[in-house]
Amino acid sequence: MVIEKNTVVSLHYRLTNNDVLGELVEETFGSDPLVFLYGAGQMIPEFERQLAGKVAGDQFSFGIKSEEAYGEYDQDAVVLLPLSTFEMDGTVDENMLQIGTIIPMSDDEGNRLNGQVKEVTQEGVVIDFNHPMAGVNLYFTGTVESLRPASETEIAHGHVHGPGGHHH
């Protein structure tokens, strides 16, 4: 069996910035593998494209440019919001406004966004709405552990069920 649409893929990977010698971002070796339904839109499209046609036991290594991953860093996505934005019942939760805290928010149209607190000033709170990996070139190395055909239910739901997947 090869990796193609509607295949459940289980793999281990190591992700670094820019190239194989870059700073470690995350890895699954020594823990549970990444399990996903290939072709369901859960993964970065270029990640899937690089895995197409591989079989269990294959090793892989490839880079993905930032614009094909989480996009370029957008300075316009860093905004100053008034402190009143963060008031609940007339007070601001100081613990929530710590540098580095990720705050779930929504825009005027109800779209959900995650913003990271960058700075707290008298004028307000500087929030960065860029993805944490925006502007970063990604480099993956790893091994395809196992493959299996997705069940009809998994295909209909758009995700893997059972070990490594979703539990209903």
Every domain range in the chain assigned CATH 2.40.10.330: 75-128
Secondary structure of residue 42 in the 3-state scheme: coil
How many angstroms separate the Cα of 22 from the Cα of each of 19, 87, 98, 139, 143? 5, 40, 28, 8, 19
- pLDDT at res. 166: 63
- pLDDT at res. 160: 94
Beta strands in 45-84 (DSSP E): 59-64, 78-81
Q: Which tokens sit at 73?
A: 């860093």
Per cent of the chain over pLDDT 70 is 97
The CA distance from 31 to 20, in Å, is: 20
Every domain range in the chain assigned CATH 3.10.50.40: 7-70+134-157
- pTM here is 0.83
- pLDDT at res. 162: 80
| pLDDT over 90 at 90, yes or no | no
- pLDDT at res. 94: 81
Per cent of the chain over pLDDT 90 is 83
Architecture of the domain whose range is 7-70+134-157: Roll (3.10)
Secondary structure of residue 148 in the 3-state scheme: strand
The CA distance from 133 to 23, in Å, is: 13
Give the fold, CATH level 3, of 75-128: Thrombin, subunit H (2.40.10)
The string of pLDDT tens digits covering residues 73-89 is 999 999 999 998 888 88
The per-residue b/e assignment along 43-72, b for 16 or more CB within 10 angstroms, e otherwise, is beebbbebbeebebebeeeebbebeebbee
| pLDDT over 70 at 168, yes or no | no
- pLDDT at res. 87: 85
Q: Stretch 32-58: mean pLDDT, rounded?
A: 97
